[in-house]
Amino acid sequence: MSRVGKKPISIPSAISVSVEGSKIVFKGGKLTKELETYGRVGIACKDNELVFSLVGEDAQSRAYWGTYRALANNIVIGLSEGFTKQLEINGVGYKAAVKGKVLELALGFSHPINYDIPEGVEISVDKNIIVIKGADKQQIGQIAAEIREFRPPEPYKGKGIKYSDERIIRKAGKTSKK
C-alpha cells in the first residue's frame, strides 16, 4: 500500500500557498494555480510545508489522500522549476518549425500540419528535437501525446515522432527468396 500522502510538501520561498476552505491556491511569479479537493482530504499549511491528512478510513479516502498530495506536489514543482518533454523526429524530409504561436510539421503528408501552441506552453525546435516546456504536467504530457499522434514511429525503419527516451522495438523486414 502506498503512503505518498504522508510525505509533507516543502514549499519554496518563491511560491505562496493559501488554503481557502477545501481549495488550495498556489501563487508563483505571474502564475496562479488552484487545486479543489472537495473536502476529500484534510489540509494544513504550516512552516512552509503543506500536509495532507485522511478524512475517512475507507480505501477511497486513502486513494484521494495520495492523489491530492501528488497533484499539489506537481503544481509546486511546475511553478518552481517547470516540466519538459522532448520529442524526436526521425525520417527523411520530416521537419518541424515554430512560426509565431504555431508549430508547423512536415511529416511526409501532402500538406504541412499546423499545431496551435496553447497559452502557458513554450515549444522550441532544434534540428530534429521538439522541446515542450510549461508549468502544468498534465498539459505538457497531453500536448506531447497529440504531437506524437500525428506520425507515431513505425516498427520497420523507426520513422515518425517519438519521445526522446522511448525505445522502438524493430521488426525484421521481408527476406528475399534464395
Position 96 pLDDT exceeds 90: yes
pLDDT band at 94 (very low <50, low <70, confident <90, very high): very high
Q: How far apart are CA 12 and CA 27, in angstroms?
A: 11
- pTM to 2 decimals? 0.87
> End-to-end distance of the chain based on CA atoms, in angstroms?
58
Domains and CATH numbers, the chain: 9-81 (3.90.930.12), 83-163 (3.90.930.12)
Cell 511526409 belongs to residue: 108
Residue predicted with more confidence, 83 or 3:
83
Digit-coded pLDDT (tens) for 25-76: 999 888 899 999 999 999 999 889 999 998 888 888 888 999 999 999 999 9
Q: How far is CA 55 from CA 9, 85, 93, 161, in A?
A: 18, 35, 56, 44
Question: Mean pLDDT over residues 156-171, rounded?
Answer: 93
CB-CB neighbours of 76 under 10 Å: 19
How high is the pLDDT of residue 1? 59
DSSP alpha helix (H) spans, 13-163: 59-80, 137-149
Question: Mean pLDDT over residues 95-118, rounded?
Answer: 95
Percent above pLDDT 90 for the chain: 76
pLDDT band at 178 (very low <50, low <70, confident <90, very high): low
How high is the pLDDT of residue 69? 94
How high is the pLDDT of residue 46? 87
Cell output for 162: 517519438
